[in-house]
Structure 1
Amino acid sequence: MHLIIAEKHIAAKRIAAILTPKKPKQVRVSGVDTYEDGSGEERKVFIGLSGHIVKLDFPKAYNNWQKVEANELIGAEIITSSTQVKIVAALKKLGKEAAKVTIATDYDREGELIGVEALDIIRGVNPDVPFDRVHYSAITPKAINEAFSNPSNVDFDLADAGHSRQVIDLVWGASLTRYISLAAGRLGKMFLSVGRVQSPTLALIVEREKERDAFIPRPYWELSAMLKSGTGEEFKVEHRTKRFWEKDEVDSAMERIAVGDEALVTELKTSEKTDKPPTPFNTTEFISAASSIGFTAANAMRIAETLYTNGFISYPRTDNTVYPESIDLRAQIEIFKTGAFKQYALKLLEKEELVPTRGKKETTDHPPIFPASLAKKTEMNEQEWKLYEMVVRRFFATFADPAKWETIRSKFDIKGEEFKASGARLVEPGWRWYYHYNAPEDRLLPKMEEGDKHDVTKLEVEAKETQPPGRYGQGRLIRIMEEMGLGTKATRHEIISKLYSRAYVHGNPLQPTKTAIAVVDTLEKFAPTISKPDMTSKLEADMDRIAEGGIPEDDVLNESREMLELVFSELGKNKDDISESLRAGLREDKIIGTCTECGSNLMVMRSKRGSRFIGCEGYPDCNFSLPLPRSGQVVVTDKQCDDHGLYHIRIVNAGKRPWNLGCPECNFIEWQKTQEEERKKQNEGKERPKTLNDISGIGKVTAEKLADAGICSVEELCEADALELAKVTSIPVKKLKAWQADIV
């Protein structure tokens, strides 16, 4: 029996359908669906994994954060445990019968490791089983048939590189996270995550935020005029001094000109500008392009993975920006001679020679991302189609001609003051006809000649300020991570997702929370190695050397542990200062605003029972409070409510979209209105309570508390100030307001 192992179930199913002459038979083995064809020695069985089926961890004895010091994890034993019990059982059962095994997982560092993990399980029950490896970049009939016709060897060096990453990330992440979380007193679900790649990436975001905070805006003024041509067309011209840095200079210019003056065309230059076609998509360029049309990095890669496993696009994790000679590019375009992209394909096929653009990076593992097969819009959801269409259009654009623009530069004289205007018109769309994303618009000027005169119909001085550097969008951040050697094409989007899930950042562009700033500040001050890219980029380079067979895995693992020992040596010298620095910073991230009742800080707090709420630091003198959702991390943004002065908040739950709750007081008022409307509906037809004891929730003891406070009737309760009454009776404000609403 020949056992073929793919990385995922859907990939196994598709490969089985391609390689078997008849429809493969679905057979359940140990609770796992497999696909079979043939019988006897010719029998083939296809099984899909679920990514990694085993994980690395420390022995249970190391799990107690209070008893095991964080630095003890550096040299701790690392064990392997199964994460997919049924798949492991199926592999063992099929492995015993196998006469041959073919690893058909994705061809990259992670895929090689996943394949070797499965192979090790099989060799545990069938040590001498022969095995080989197939490489493919698209799950299409042509690519799969070619791959299985030309098998190669399993690359154990590449798998070792993947394994070393797992070990290093586990040891660094677990030990540093434990140390920093304990120092800050943030345990349980609220622990402070620290990581080899995550922390330098977070430091980039925090550094940019500090640049923004330190930025001092400088005022300037812009002077423009509206002109009216002889044909009645109006257009805008700007003073040759783009920015006036002194107010008296722009005032002086304005004194010399006025509405009704004539603007003389003193210079007119027409030229042609060529706009080169884009290069093929690699992972970074794909994520950047997807980000520009509204996709997060993680979502773009998740959808790309789905498109790949369904055979619609090539493998989406690649550094390559040069199409290899092995791809018949004309044949690939001919696939689209029918369907939604017919007109574009036919136009390209008119070319005698198809010469694609070439990017700066050329690798041999996978080609750039390209459309592998023709799809119909009905075969996928809206988001999948949107990204598939972008890949198709980018592919076409790499073969297209340059776009050509006609540009016009003009100068005008108004009473001795020089003004300028420029225009641009797309005369030959070229590649932009195929790939229309983020295209600049035409800026048209009326027809004119030197010596023409135009009437000044309006003059405007606009006061502006210089702007701070912009925050990083996800696409831009991934580019910077690539430049600095932080992470890999397969992990960068996951790092960004982790920063969101840990409530270190919010929004897009990414804005760090006070917690993130506190963590980065502490690391940079007391253990700068963790927050700088040098260490992690060095380890990334070492892992590449493992993959190339240039250095043993153990050497890199030992070096990484030595680096980590030095980091802990730095941390140990400043333990108390680290704790103080973190706790002070984390406290700031709990401040929601100022209490309108007493002027104290309003903070995110926890009751004795563990529930969260926004409370006043002036308690017990001030009882003001607002409710909070029961679950999710509270992220305090820098946007303030105009009515209440409180910061807007977001609620972050892992695996879910963040909930923009907004101003907590506005939200509570809105909730109260909704509750009141619900009560009105429920109380329709009911009689108004006549005595306090008629109100649900008011018993003998509560009635006595109210009586001691001078509240003896329904009317008195209704008219009382709930906040003041709560102070006297210790009855929660929320309850009092609910009773008042019931009475009304």
Structure 2
Amino acid sequence: MLGKFIQTRNIGVRIFLNWQEKQSFGNFTCLHVKRKLSDMVNVLNVAEKNSVAKNVAQILGRGAIQTRETGSVYNKLYEFRVYVPSLQNQCLMKMTSVSGHLLSFDFGPEHRKWTSCNPQELFSSPIVRFVPETGMKIKKCLQREIRNCSVLIIWTDCDREGENIGFEIIDVCREVKPNLKILRAHFSEITGPAINRALNTLTEPNKKVSDAVDVRQKLDLRIGAAFTRFLTMGLQVPNNNNNNSDKNNQIISYGSCQFPTLGFVVERWKQREEFVPQPFWYITVESVKDGISCSWNWKRQRLFDERSCIAILSKISEHPTAKVTKINSKQKSKYRPYAMDTVTFERLASSKLRINAKRAMMCAEKLYTSGYISYPRTETNKFPPEIKLNDLVTAQQSSSEWGQFANRIIQNGGATPRNGNKSDQAHPPIHPTKYASNLNGDEKKIYELIVRHFLACCDKDAQGFEVTVQIEINEEIFTLKGLQIKERNYLEVYIYEKWYDKEIPQFVENEMFVPNDIDMKKSETTAPELLTEAQLIALMEKHGIGTDATHADHIEKIKERGYIMVTPTRHLMPKGLGIGLVEAYDDIGFEMSKPYLRAALEKDLVQICEGTKTPEHVLKTHINEYEKVYKESHKQKNRLFELVRTKINS
């Protein structure tokens, strides 16, 4: 009967038998059913978070799932039955999850306390890998469930970090079942087609990718602990009820990505502080024709010599008649955006929505696990040909805000995306996977940004007609530009960019007229603005600091540590401690705030993934580089600490 189920003890679990399952079994008796069930393969499936596990189970189980507690409040277990092609068998699937990384690296007890050793010993002291107390219930669940399974399928996020988490799960499960068959599911969105495709194309997990993460974690642990202990203990002062005692005794953390990120902020601040304005002069020409006012631009733009500018003004004032010497008319395009990668997403969220990158990524992750968007951590900005873009566009026709625009794309021949040239060979660009109508707050804003960007990318460039008029006044050249927009196209949906008509009068070549006003004006150069978060992310990407998955985390970390602050205008301002750390290391000859060391590591991690360098060689090389810096820091510690204290107390 529909909705009934049979309890079977021979495999130790409950199996739902709905109408669809009865069809797959045929007209068998209960004895036949038991025999059929006994042939099934028991499979443990593990995702990176509970929301993914639940959604994947609902898709593969077609709603016929049973939920069990695991001992971990936030990690349930879902059971269902499905045919797995790579196993060529009907399988009893147990789907559960971890909560991010399951294992951690740390020093042994003899080196774990801050005062237990000289910080330099941390560059070579033994490291242990263990399950923290917070993960013990998850570990017990995995090891309990795997005992009755012969196959483990990894469903973690398909990026470098997710691969590493997958191998943590594998290691924990192999402790109790060494001969497990291990498979890996690859997916970029949590939708029916994507998850079923992942089940049908299972592969082996990639140990090289996981090894790259292990190298980064071990290196970050060693250099982070060594420099953090060195700086913090060196800068601590006795508490004499001094008002500055708290800030002098805070943790001075070091991170190989944090410092270069801080360095970009400090460098821009220093450029601004050291900036000396320079006066300059320029000539303006104003005219009115057919009731339209025109401001002409001087070809020289500006001069830093006042006398020279006065001489030119005097010259053209003697014969102020302007002659039209050239008129250029041409089609003008405003290009639609490229397909969206993570860095573009973070920059747009920060600059257009005023949502910082950390918060934006949290919202995107939730939208992804809810099945509304594709995986939000990607370096790809071109759509692979197998993605059915027209189906994705059609899904947005239900919207009252952009539905008509989506319909127009389909009616005008379908999606024609503007693709970039980057691909991480793992995930497509960020895009909506289905229409969402019940979102609120920042999640709604983030979803709207992704949808509008996707639709704009799939439409056509805006088209206009630009006219440039050039005049000559006693050998000095001035220009005037006008724009007439013919087709707005993608701009109709992409509310984050503007393009305006600019009306100018009609002119003809050799036409002559006397301007209404010719004048010389004075101004001065202005200091560069402090960095915005969007600009900082762009610099991090350009110089290879972190990855698309970690940019936001590094920025948040230097905020939390009190190295920088956000101004009311949303610019990033370094604080005394941040300035002191950067300038002190610059002073002793080691530019720790520059991106070179970390960028070199990121390149080597890619080579580990590609198999052209070994993890052992990369780790040893970079430990040696940082240990050299540490030794020099220790050698010049008095000067280093004094420079930092000066900035802290200023």
Same fold (TM over 0.5): yes
Query: Would you say the 8 A contact 2:78–2:96 is kept in 1?
Result: no
**Residue 469 of structure 2 is aligned to residue 410 of structure 1:** yes
Q: CA deviation at 1:23?
A: 4.2
Which region of structure 1 is more displaced relative to structure 2, 190-199 or 503-512?
503-512
Task: Name the residue aligned to 2:370.
Answer: 310
Structure 2 counterparts to residues 356-435 of structure 1, below 5 A: 356-376=417-437, 379-412=438-471, 419-435=478-494
Task: Name the residue aligned to 2:53.
Answer: 12
**Residue 628 of structure 2 is aligned to residue 583 of structure 1:** no
Structure 2 counterparts to residues 137-152 of structure 1, below 5 A: 137-152=188-203
Task: Name the residue aligned to 2:99.
Answer: 50
Task: Name the residue aligned to 1:202.
Answer: 262
Query: Would you say the 8 A contact 1:271–1:408 is kept in 2?
Result: yes
CA distance in 2, matches of 1:190, 1:4: 43
**Residue 107 of structure 2 is aligned to residue 107 of structure 1:** no
The match for 2:227 among 152, 176, 179 is 176
CA distance in 1, matches of 2:221, 2:289: 70
Q: CA deviation at 1:284?
A: 1.6
The match for 1:468 among 502, 521, 527 is 527
Secondary structure of 2:188 counterpart: coil
**Residue 561 of structure 2 is aligned to residue 561 of structure 1:** no
Task: Name the residue aligned to 1:444.
Answer: 503
Deviations 1:187-213 (A, max 9, x none): 897221211122122223222322223
CA distance in 2, matches of 1:414, 1:265: 9
**Residue 389 of structure 2 is aligned to residue 347 of structure 1:** no
Amino acid corresponding to residue 118 of structure 2 in structure 1 = E
The match for 1:320 among 380, 383, 405 is 380
Q: CA deviation at 1:466?
A: 0.9
Structure 2 counterparts to residues 318-717 of structure 1, below 5 A: 318-340=378-400, 341-352=402-413, 354-376=415-437, 379-412=438-471, 419-450=478-509, 462-507=521-566, 508-526=570-588, 528=590, 530-588=592-650
Query: Would you say the 8 A contact 2:358–2:552 is kept in 1?
Result: yes
CA distance in 2, matches of 1:462, 1:142: 65
Query: Would you say the 8 A contact 2:491–2:497 is kept in 1?
Result: no
CA distance in 2, matches of 1:382, 1:522: 43
CA distance in 2, matches of 1:169, 1:431: 44
Q: CA deviation at 1:278?
A: 2.6
Deviations 1:44-87 (A, max 9, x none): 22212211133222234434334422112112222223232332
Q: How high is the sequence identity, in percent, across the aligned residues?
A: 30
Task: Name the residue aligned to 1:275.
Answer: 334
CA distance in 2, matches of 1:416, 1:247: 19
**Residue 118 of structure 2 is aligned to residue 69 of structure 1:** yes
Greater RCO between the two (CA within 8 Å, min separation 6)?
2
Cα 1:36/1:287, change in 2 over 3 Å: closer
Deviations 1:508-535 (A, max 9, x none): 4322222212111222233616333232
The match for 2:136 among 66, 69, 85 is 85
CA distance in 2, matches of 1:300, 1:307: 11
Query: Would you say the 8 A contact 2:339–2:418 is kept in 1?
Result: yes
Cα 1:303/1:454, change in 2 over 3 Å: farther
Amino acid corresponding to residue 15 of structure 1 in structure 2 = V
CA distance in 2, matches of 1:292, 1:453: 45
Q: CA deviation at 1:179?
A: 0.9
Q: Which runs of 5+ in 1 are unaligned?
A: 589-744
Amino acid corresponding to residue 44 of structure 2 in structure 1 = L
Cα 1:413/1:541, change in 2 over 3 Å: closer
Q: CA deviation at 1:461?
A: 5.1
Task: Name the residue aligned to 2:11.
Answer: none
Deviations 1:299-358 (A, max 9, x none): 222222111111111111111122112212223322223324322222222344644333
Query: Would you say the 8 A contact 1:16–1:35 is kept in 2?
Result: no
The match for 1:26 among 67, 71, 93 is 67
Which region of structure 1 is more displaced relative to structure 2, 75-84 or 60-69?
60-69
Secondary structure of 2:455 counterpart: helix
Q: Which runs of 5+ in 2 are unaligned?
A: 1-41, 83-89, 238-246
Q: Which has the larger radius of gyration?
A: 1
Question: Matched residue pairs, number?
Answer: 583
RMSD: 2.8
Deviations 1:543-586 (A, max 9, x none): 22222233332332222322232222212321222222222222
CA distance in 1, matches of 2:199, 2:275: 59
Query: Would you say the 8 A contact 1:24–1:36 is kept in 2?
Result: yes
CA distance in 1, matches of 2:325, 2:137: 81
CA distance in 1, matches of 2:285, 2:591: 55
Query: Would you say the 8 A contact 2:287–2:517 is kept in 1?
Result: yes
Task: Name the residue aligned to 1:160.
Answer: 211
Secondary structure of 1:154 counterpart: coil
CA distance in 2, matches of 1:527, 1:565: 15
Q: CA deviation at 1:165?
A: 1.2
Q: CA deviation at 1:133?
A: 0.9
Task: Name the residue aligned to 2:281.
Answer: 221
CA distance in 1, matches of 2:298, 2:421: 40
Query: Would you say the 8 A contact 2:341–2:429 is kept in 1?
Result: yes
Q: CA deviation at 1:467?
A: 1.8
Query: Would you say the 8 A contact 1:529–1:567 is kept in 2?
Result: no
Secondary structure of 1:572 counterpart: helix
CA distance in 1, matches of 2:366, 2:622: 35
Q: CA deviation at 1:480?
A: 2.2
Secondary structure of 2:254 counterpart: coil
